[in-house]
Amino acid sequence: MYEQFGISEKIEKLCTKSEQDVENVFKQIDNTCEYNSLKVLKAFQNNNISDIHFNSTTGYGYSDIGREAIEKVYSQIFKAEDSLVRSQFISGTHALTVALFAFLRPGDTMLSITGLPYDTLHEVIGIKENPSSLKSYNINYDQIDLVNNDFDYEKIQKRLKESKVKLIEIQRSKGYSTRKSITIEQLEKVIKIIREVDKEVIIMVDNCYCEFVGKVEPIEVGADIAVGSLIKNLGGGIAPNGAYIVGRKDLIELAGERLTAPGEGKEVGPTLGINKSILQGLFFAPNIVASSLKTAVLASKMLETLGYKTEPKYDAKRADIVQTIEFGAPKKLIKYCQGIQMGSPIESSSVPEPWDMPGYTDKVIMAAGAFTQGSSIELSCDGPIRPPYVAFMQGGLTYQYGKLGILKAIQMLEEQ
């Protein structure tokens, strides 16, 4: 069958050998998947999820018991006081924006301790000028860069002692940088360091791409708020859109009133038939994340064998589902992404090319033959056309489909 997809015997043999080498890593992924599956099932059972929760509301969405049940399930899974899980969130960036505008007031300071945030937040914050940014509301921004892929603990404490910071933002996944993603152990350590100096500062974690990769989530190690997208890990490839904010009850109330209107908050928001998709996606999410991780591990092993620089290495501890491959040349990055597109179920005949994408400074190439537009839990690969020409690959609804996409991309590289 692989011959029918244009995969050479050489690439197929490399794959077989790589799968043997990563067998123990796959077993660890399966162990985590089982743990998180039981965690999800327990939350469903404890909250008595029934088919009545699949019902839909329209208009204002008053008394939507399905929506309320979903948020109770999310709260239990994350061990949070409350949660906001809504299809009205367009993306993870939108949920982060709502949270930032909900928690910050004119004169407040936001501090990023993982360096420069992801590109799409630059105009939100005001790093790149925008009349609707936090900066335009006189909200200050400061950042502390990572040092050797870890927090600059001393500098963080020093900065907190110098002047009042209202909110600390921590981006766990690497975005379009070449740094390592932040592990839950690193997160726990830095939160303890922060609390030694300031017990009131809001600690908000951008948890996109990280859910169910490990057994522990940010709220469990002391974060006040965690934010993520439903077209990434927790949507399980089924939720068609949406995002979540989980954490402290008082902060969730503020986020709800920023999403809707003061005085209405979480009490409104029609579900328009999406409840079943959100619940079913969450139910499948641990297994989908495991498939994505296995796809990433295989890609890392094969490409490392072929001489490319990969991060993480195939046997390294992972914090998210993102796999980066450094190509050092734009043509190789483009060819790899085009191969991923050719191995996709949707629009496999399309040929992605770099383009000026809204919210990004550089041209970006994006390959995503996905059932849901922009879904990053389905196999996708993208990257800015700038040195050192790194591909950011993530997703894979099943390992078998993810594997085919990897083989097709590597075949394109070899032919080039």
Residues in the chain, pLDDT under 50: none
Closest CA to 170 of 133, 127, 225: 225
Same domain? 166 vs 315 = no
For residue 42, tell me if it sits in a domain: no
Same domain? 246 vs 360 = no
Same domain? 57 vs 162 = yes
Last residue within a domain, chosen from 263, 282, 301: 282
For residue 305, tell me if it sits in a domain: yes
Q: Which two tokens stand for residue 71?
A: 């948020």
Q: Is 276 exposed, middle or buried, given 0-12, 13-18 or 19+ CB atoms closer than 10 A? A: middle
Same domain? 104 vs 24 = no
Last residue within a domain, chosen from 255, 282, 309: 282
Q: How many distinct structural domains can be found in the chain?
A: 2
Same domain? 194 vs 104 = yes
Same domain? 297 vs 384 = yes
Same domain? 21 vs 67 = no
Tokens 């997208």 -> residue: 229
Residue numbers of the domain that contains 88: 48-282
Same domain? 78 vs 212 = yes
Same domain? 251 vs 287 = no
Rg (CA), the chain: 21
What pLDDT does 316 receive?
96
For residue range 110-141, list pLDDT tens digits in order: 999 999 999 899 999 999 999 999 999 999 99
How far is it, in rounded angstroms, from Cα 72 to Cα 126?
34
- Does this model's pTM top 0.85? My answer is yes
Closest CA to 78 of 89, 70, 66, 67: 70
What pLDDT does 175 receive?
84
Strands ordered across the beta sheet of 364-367? 309-311, 323-326, 390-394, 380-384, 364-367
Last residue within a domain, chosen from 282, 301, 317: 282
Other CB atoms closer than 10 Å to residue 16's CB: what's the count? Answer: 9
For residue 43, tell me if it sits in a domain: no
Same domain? 82 vs 200 = yes
How far is it, in rounded angstroms, from Cα 224 to Cα 217?
12
What pLDDT does 178 receive?
84
* E strands present in 334-403: 364-367, 380-384, 390-394
From the centroid of its chain, how far is CA 208? 2
How far is it, in rounded angstroms, from Cα 219 to Cα 80?
6
For residue 169, tell me if it sits in a domain: yes
